[in-house]
Amino acid sequence: MSEHGPTPRRVLVWRHGRTHWNVEHRLQGQADPPLDEVGRMQAAASARLLVAYSPGAIISSDLARAVQTARPLAELLGLPVILDRRLRERSLGGWEGLTREEVVRRHPGEYAQWVAGRDAPQPGAETRAEIGERSLAALAAAEGETVVLVTHSAT
């Protein structure tokens, strides 16, 4: 039970649609590129499927790509999109905006640790424990029988 009431019984986790940075293999982290045309189509198509679950709340990361993904579902259901910055993507520090190839070239050891599932010692980057803690706090605060959380791959 959260301080706001019971946690939801059904949680649908929805990753945002495609951005031009996804296509370019750029690490987005908490940078804020918008959805591209394909991402907007993905959001609209997914929203038509998610309506069947009759969610009572839509809680989204406050980053543009997540909010833009949430909007079509909110419009179909007549619900507001509740923004929660705890659902943001993992901060990647100085790697944000770089392509994977650039990170491999500039930080080969740290990148190898990261892809092996360990926390890379990158200044400004969040640890897996930190992202887990804030994500679980956002989930614990969510209310309703069925809730859609619009978020990111690491979150």
Q: Is 89 tagged catalytic?
A: yes
Structure tokens at 124: 């400004």
Whose CA is closest to 81, among 35, 148, 146, 153? 148
Q: What is the 3-state secondary structure of 31-53?
A: CCCCECHHHHHHHHHHHHHHHHH
Q: Is 75 tagged catalytic?
A: no
CA gyration radius, the chain? 16
Out of 3, 75, 89, 152, pick the active-site residue.
89
Cα separations (Å) of 148 from 71, 112, 117, 130, 135?
Answer: 12, 33, 27, 22, 14
Other CB atoms closer than 10 Å to residue 67's CB: what's the count?
Answer: 19
Out of 16, 96, 107, 152, pick the active-site residue.
16
Cite the active site residues.
16, 89
